[in-house]
Structure 1
Amino acid sequence: MNSIITGKNIVKIFGKGNEQAKVLNGVNVEIAKGEFVAIMGHSGSGKSTLLFALSGMDEITSGSVKFDDIEISKLSENQLADVRRTKMGFIFQQPTMLKNLNLLDNIILPAVHNGKKDIEKLTQRAKNLMKKTGICGLESRDITEASGGQLQRGGICRALMNEPYILFADEPTGALNSKSAEEIMELLVEINKEGTAILLVTHDAKVAARADRILFMKDGNMISELLLQKFIGRDMEVREKKVLAGMAAVGI
Structure 2
Amino acid sequence: MKKIIIGDNIMKSFGVGDEKNYVLDGVSIEINEGEFVSVMGPSGSGKSTLMYAMSGMDEIDGGTVSIDGRDLSTLNEKELADIRRTKMGFVFQQPTLLKSLNILDNIILPSMRDNRKNVAKITEKARTLMKKVGIAELEKRDITQVSGGQLQRAGICRALMGSPKIIFGDEPTGALNSKSAQEIMDIISEINTEGTTIILVTHDAKIAARTERIMFMYDGKIVSEMRFKRFNGTDIDDRMKRIMGKMREIGI
Shorter-chain TM-score bucket reads: over 0.9
**Counterpart secondary structure, 1:118:** helix
1:35 corresponds to which residue?
35
Distance in structure 1 (CA, Å) of the matches to 2:193 and 2:242 = 22
When structure 1 is superposed on structure 2, of 233-242 and 118-127 the one drifting more is 233-242
Q: State whether residues 45 and 218 of structure 1, in contact with CA within 8 Å, keep that contact through their aligned partners in structure 2.
A: yes
Cα distance in 2, alignment partners of residues 26 and 5 from structure 1? 16
1:2, 1:32 within 8 Å by CA — same for their partners in 2?
A: yes
Give the aligned partner of residue 114 of structure 1: 114
Q: Secondary structure at the match of 1:51?
A: helix
| Letter of the structure 1 residue corresponding to residue 218 of structure 2 | K
Question: 1:68 is matched by which residue type in structure 2?
Answer: D
Whether the 8 Å contact between 1:86 and 1:114 is mirrored in structure 2 is: no
Matches within 5 A, 1:74-153: 74-115=74-115, 117-153=117-153
Tell me which stretches of 4 or more aligned residues in structure 1 moved more than 4 Å. none
| Residue identity matched to 2:191 | I
How many angstroms does 1:113 deviate by?
Answer: 2.0
Match of 1:197 in 2: 197
Cα distance in 2 between the residues matched to 1:187 and 1:11: 33
SS in 1 for 2:137: coil
How much does 1:116 deviate?
5.8
Q: SS of the residue aligned with 2:39? A: strand
Give the structure 2 partner of residue 210 of structure 1.
210
Q: Which ranges in structure 2 are unaligned for 5 or more consecutive residues?
A: none
Q: Within 2, Cα distance between the matches of 1:75 and 1:17? A: 29
5 Å-filtered alignment, 1:11-90, equals 11-90=11-90
Question: Is 1:167 the equivalent of 2:167?
Answer: yes
| Contact 1:40-1:217 within 8 A present in 2 as well | yes
CA distance in 2, matches of 1:32, 1:108: 29
Output the CA distance in 2 between the equivalents of 1:77 and 1:248.
41
Instruction: Indicate the residue corresponding to 1:3 in structure 2.
Output: 3
2:48 maps to a residue whose letter is: S
Deviation readout 1:116-151 (Å, 9 max, x if unpaired)? 631111111111111111111000000111111100
Report the number of matched residues.
Answer: 252
What is the Cα-based RMSD across aligned positions, in Å? 1.1
| Matched position secondary structure for 2:180 | helix
Distance, in Å, in 2 between the alignment partners of 1:201 and 1:185 is 13
Match of 2:60, SS state, is coil
Q: Deviations over 1:28-77 (max 9, x none)?
A: 00110000000000000000000000000100000000000000122111
Q: Partner letter of residue 117 of structure 1? A: K
Change (3 A) 1:122 1:45: same
**Which residue in 2 is equivalent to 1:156?**
156
Is 1:232 matched up with 2:232? Answer: yes
- Give 1:241 shift: 1.6
CA-to-partner distance for each residue in 1:2-36, whole Å, 9 max, x for gaps?
11100000000112223311111100001100000
- AA aligned to 2:146 is A
Please state how far the C-alpha of 1:231 moved relative to its aligned partner.
Answer: 2.0
Q: For 2:19 and 2:82, how far apart are their aligned partners in 1?
A: 33
Partner of 2:186: 186
Indicate conservation of the 8 Å contact 1:4/1:69, yes or no. yes
State the partner residue of 1:249. Answer: 249
Hey, what's the Cα distance between the residues in 2 that align with 1:200 and 1:71?
A: 22
- The percent identity for this pair of structures is 60
Following superposition, the deviation at residue 175 of structure 1 comes to 0.4
Given the two structures, how large is their TM-score scaled by the length of structure 1? 0.97
Residues 85, 114 of structure 1: 8 Å contact kept: no
CA deviation string 1:80-111 (max 9, x = no partner): 01100111000000000111111001001121
Quick one: distance in 1 between partners of 2:22 and 2:211?
Answer: 28
Q: Distance in 2 between matches of 1:114 and 1:27?
A: 35
Distance 1:69 1:115 in 2: 26
SS in 1 for 2:232: coil
- Calculate the TM-score normalised by the size of structure 2: 0.97
